[in-house]
Structure 1
Amino acid sequence: MNQKSTQPLRTFALILLPLATAVIHISLRFPDLVFILNGIGYVTFLGAYLLGRERLGKRFRWVRYGFIAYTGVTILLWVLFGARTPLGYLTKVIEALLVGLLVTDRT
């Protein structure tokens, strides 16, 4: 398959993965402010990622780099302080997939 034929699937995944981890973080420890802010951060980066492509031009790459860094820090903090639960591991798999998509996104 070429890149054009996989683009709708990649776009769907780039929307679904941050939304999934945002919902998990917001609902997991409600009303824990750190988890709520983390979930809001994912939604914010997703919005910037989706809306910024055409508006930011070449500067859009900084949104992508920020999204990768934000997700990476979230994973790192979980490694250092997070609960080792099945949901925790699932969330980290989602976030790792998100990082992989963001790193390989060339649109």
Structure 2
Amino acid sequence: MVEKQATFGLVQVGVVLLALATAIIHIVLALPTNLIMFYLNGAGYIGLTAALYLPQLAVYRRRLRWALIGYTAITIVGWAVVGERSLIAYLDKLIEVALIGLLAIEVRQEGER
């Protein structure tokens, strides 16, 4: 199956902005504590999002999208189990839920093409 050329519209811009926002939050939270887990989480968001939209990886786009959805869901569950309850944490979870929502819209749009 040949992957069609992806359009880069408002949904994709939203995915990139939300993924960068949560990545930056995790990296900034890691700075004072030097928790490697937060650095890696931020890097994971950046890496998966970049891979999702790289033309060279277009044949893997569906899998990468689902990987980013799963990664985000695991991050939310991890926070629910051991995370700190703070304003920034709740804001970040809202960002992550919105990210999953936009990725789900992409899944739906892909099915319509």
The TM-score bracket by the shorter chain reads: 0.7 to 0.9
The normalised TM-score by structure 2 is: 0.81
1:42-85 Cα offsets, whole Å, 9 max, x none, are 00011111115x6433x421111100000000000000000010
CA deviation after TM superposition for structure 1 residue 9, in Å: 2.0
Distance of 1:72 and 1:55 partners within structure 2: 23
2:87 equivalent in structure 1: 86
2:50 equivalent in structure 1: 47
2:58 equivalent in structure 1: 56
Aligned-pair identity in percent equals: 38
CA deviation after TM superposition for structure 1 residue 10, in Å: 1.3
Give the paired residue count: 99
Q: Which has the higher mean CA deviation after the structures are superposed, 35-44 or 21-30? A: 21-30
Distance of 2:38 and 2:16 partners within structure 1: 19
1:103 equivalent in structure 2: 104
Q: SS at 1:29's partner residue? A: helix
The normalised TM-score by structure 1 is: 0.85
Moved over 2 A (4+): 54-57
Gaps of 5+ in 1: 1-6
